[in-house]
Structure 1
């Protein structure tokens, strides 16, 4: 179980590095931050879901 957890934590930075490499090799393959945010905030349910998620994170990790 320990190996699985460590592998999971190692996979996150590896995925980040892979995204950086892909963005340099094929710039048109990934959306920019502005385009990403405009698509995420395009619908009301998505905005409400994101708001509730940020509220939940704040409540669980910042309160206390």
Structure 2
């Protein structure tokens, strides 16, 4: 449990660092341009999908039993 939480927090931190790095390159980029540039990288797209999946699985899915 702790390992999976740490892993997904690491993925979220990576996304934040990637967006910060892009923002440093172009300080006048809009939010839409920031996401467009961020999602050009395949590894970032996969990380976004994994983080959303984890959030949905743990917090948004209802109990089935």
TM-score normalised by length of structure 1: 0.50
Larger Rg: 1
Structure with more contact order per residue of length (Cα contacts < 8 Å, sep ≥ 6): 2
Higher helix share: 1
